[in-house]
Amino acid sequence: MMNKKSIPYGKQWIDQDDIQSVIEVLKSDYLTTGPKIQEFEQKFADYVGSKYAVAIANGTAALHASCYAAGIDKEYEVITTPITFAASANCILYCGGTPVFADIDSKTYNIDPNAIKKNITSKTKAIIPVHYTGQPCNIDEIHKIAQKNNLIVIEDGSHALGASYKGKMIGSISDMTTFSFHPVKHITTGEGGMITTNNKRVYERLLLFRTHGITRNMDLLENKDEGLWYYEQLDLGYNYRITDIQCVLGISQLNKIDRFLARRKEIVRKYNEAFKHLEEIETPYQDESGNSSWHLYVIKLNLDNLKIGRKEVFNALREKGIGVNVHYIPIYYFPYYQKLRYKKGLCPKAEDLYEKIITLPLYPKMSNEDVEYVIESVYEVVKKYKV
Ligand SMILES: *Cc1c(COP(=O)(O)O)cnc(C)c1O
pLDDT at residue 2, as a whole number: 56
- Mean pLDDT, rounded, for 129-133: 98
Q: Is the CB of 85 under 6 A from ligand 1?
A: yes
Position 4 pLDDT exceeds 80: no
Pairing outcome for strands 98-101 and 193-197: unpaired
Give the distance (Å) from ligand 1 centre to CA of residue 189: 13
Q: Is the CB of 188 under 6 A from ligand 1?
A: no
pLDDT at residue 214, as a whole number: 97
Q: Which amino acid is at 69?
A: A
Q: Which amino acid is at 202?
A: V
Give the distance (Å) from ligand 1 centre to CA of residue 182: 7
Q: Which amino acid is at 43?
A: K
Give the distance (Å) from ligand 1 centre to CA of residue 192: 10
Q: Is the CB of 356 under 6 A from ligand 1?
A: no
Q: Is the CB of 157 under 6 A from ligand 1?
A: no
Give the distance (Å) from ligand 1 centre to CA of residue 184: 10
**Tens digits of residue pLDDT in 161-192:** 999 999 999 999 999 999 999 999 999 999 99
Q: Whose CA is nearest to atom 2 of ligand 1?
A: 158
pLDDT at residue 191, as a whole number: 98
Question: Which ligand 1 atom sits closest to the C-alpha of 192?
Answer: 7
Question: Which ligand 1 atom sits closest to the C-alpha of 180?
Answer: 7
Is 351:345 a contact under the CB 8 Å cutoff?
yes
CB neighbours (10 Å) of residue 234? 16
Share of the chain above pLDDT 90, in %: 98
The whole-angstrom distance between residue 140's C-alpha and the CA centroid of its chain comes to 19
**All residues at 6 or more sequence positions from 1 whose CB lies less than 8 Å from its CB, including other chains:** none
Distance CA 338, CA 255 (A): 43
**All residues at 6 or more sequence positions from 341 whose CB lies less than 8 Å from its CB, including other chains:** none
Give the distance (Å) from ligand 1 centre to CA of residue 154: 14
Position 3 pLDDT exceeds 80: no
- Mean pLDDT, rounded, for 126-133: 98
Distances (CA, A) of 275 to 28, 202, 279, 328, 362: 50, 45, 8, 22, 15
Average pLDDT along the chain? 97
pLDDT at residue 5, as a whole number: 87
**Tens digits of residue pLDDT in 205-264:** 999 999 999 999 999 999 999 999 999 999 999 999 999 999 999 999 999 999 999 999
Residue 60's nearest CA partner among 32, 95, 17, 26 is: 95
Question: Which ligand 1 atom sits closest to the C-alpha of 185?
Answer: 1
Give the distance (Å) from ligand 1 centre to CA of residue 383: 35
Give the distance (Å) from ligand 1 centre to CA of residue 136: 16
**All residues at 6 or more sequence positions from 44 whose CB lies less than 8 Å from its CB, including other chains:** 53, 55, 179, 194, 196, 250, 254
The whole-angstrom distance between residue 304's C-alpha and the CA centroid of its chain comes to 32
- Mean pLDDT, rounded, for 26-33: 98
**Tens digits of residue pLDDT in 280-296:** 999 999 999 999 999 99
Q: Is the CB of 130 under 6 A from ligand 1?
A: yes
Position 1 pLDDT exceeds 90: no
